[in-house]
Amino acid sequence: MKRSGVTQLALMLSPVVVTLLFATLILLAAGANPLEAFGNILAGAFGSAKKWGDIAVVMVPLALCAAGMLVTFAAGLWNIGVEGQIVAGALAATWVALGVQGPPWLILPLTLLAGAAGGAVLGVVIGALRTWGRVNEIFAGLGMNFVMVALTNYLIFGPWRPPDGATMSGTEPFPLAARMPMIGSSRASLVSIGLAVAALFIVYFLLRDTHWGLRLKAIGLNSAAAARMGINTHREMIVAFVVCGLMAGIAGSLQTTAVYFRLIPQVSGGYGYLSQLVVLLSGLRAVAVPLIVFFFGAVQVGSPRLELRMQLDSSLGGILQASMVLFFFLIKGWRQRLADRKERNA
């Protein structure tokens, strides 16, 4: 059924509208002024030129992980362990940054490689648990997430603590050679942005135009028949986890070498879980990811202002992001229901 451009736009935006209504209700219930709250978020996100850099900083890990998860979702897998893969990448990169001496052109690529490897190794673990251990990847991933977080804390308060004592700020700051160059005075790094964009393009190409991508789709739709058709489902699933791990691991390494310049306890920042929301909202379409990542990034950057200005918890940002996805699904289902009913009465 052909729809006018305006109607299509309205339909796409309906989850946004409902989300705002929902958030308004919550804010009113909490005794806060909704308009003021939204205004603060916007101001927090776009208030100054510097903020654009901050948004880019948030968009990078989101985009990398979303790209990786498009791959795992294609194979029908719920890679909740991506959060742990980010941490694994961060740990590996930190190990290089703190342990290896050398010029930047050696160290920095090494941190990226280490990060990718870290994420990939975790991908193998989760994949093996899923294929041979029959452990649902949701639980395998979650288990690994918590283990990785514990490992991070151990390292920060133990072997990698700064010489003058362990603190919640994390490890010692990285030497200059292990820091990614920034764009001007902003916090954004060209390398990070380039890698994120490349990841999205690569994944788009992989899924649409390669044999491997088609095999993944087959596995995601009917793994039993795919196996009968000669596809090595176990191997391809593990490879999918590894590919996602490569990208998530790179995101993790960038968090240490391009954002915080050290290893901090919350190095993954919940980006793993957040990128799941991004992918769900995109309807598994790579083309929709950049816009969604931008929106989510803006909300992430703007929300802390609520704590400063209004004594509200910044989790309002998370509420906006998650309810957007929820209403996207609910509205999609409702529209499908109406369409089915119309077809039946025809």
* Binding residue count for another protein, defined by CB under 8 A: 69
Q: Binding to another protein by residue 78, rule CB under 8 A? A: yes
Q: Is 269 helix (H, G, I), strand (E, B) or coil?
A: coil
Among 43, 142, 182, 198, binds another protein (CB under 8 A): 142
Among 51, 179, 187, 215, binds another protein (CB under 8 A): 215
Q: Binding to another protein by residue 45, rule CB under 8 A? A: no
Site string for another protein, 220-259 (x = CB under 8 A): -xx-xxxxxxxxx---------------------------
CB of 102 to another protein, least distance (A): 31
100 vs 151, which CB is nearer to another protein? 151
Q: Burial code of 238-265, b = ≥16 C-beta within 10 A, e = fewer?
A: bbbbbbbbbbbbbbbbbbbbbbbbbbbe
Alpha carbons 300 and 322: distance in angstroms, whole number: 12
Q: Binding to another protein by residue 9, rule CB under 8 A? A: no
Q: Binding to another protein by residue 201, rule CB under 8 A? A: no
288 φ/ψ angles, rounded to the nearest 5 degrees? -85, -15
DSSP 252-267: HHHIIIIIISS--TTT
Angle between the N-to-C axes of helices 211-221 and 233-254, in degrees from 0 to 180, rounded to the nearest 10:
110
Question: Could you tell me which stretch among 57-65, 99-107, 139-147, 161-169 binds another protein (CB under 8 A)?
Answer: 139-147
CB of 163 to another protein, least distance (A): 19
CB distance 57 to 71 below 8 Å: no
CB of 178 to another protein, least distance (A): 25
CB of 331 to another protein, least distance (A): 9
Cβ contacts of residue 240 below 8 Å, gap of 6+?
Answer: 71, 72, 74, 75, 77, 79, 127, 216
The CA radius of gyration of the chain, in Å to the nearest whole number, is 21
Q: Binding to another protein by residue 292, rule CB under 8 A? A: no
CB of 85 to another protein, least distance (A): 15
Alpha carbons 74 and 329: distance in angstroms, whole number: 18
Q: Single out the residue of 145, 212, 82 nearest to residue 220, CA to CA.
A: 212
Q: Binding to another protein by residue 305, rule CB under 8 A? A: no
CB distance 244 to 72 below 8 Å: yes
50 vs 341, which CB is nearer to another protein? 341
- The contact set with another protein (CB under 8 A) reads 26, 29-30, 78, 80, 129, 132-136, 138-140, 142-147, 149-151, 153-154, 157-158, 209-212, 214-215, 217-218, 221-222, 224-232, 273, 276-277, 280, 311-313, 315-316, 318-319, 321-323, 325-326, 329-330, 332-334, 336-337
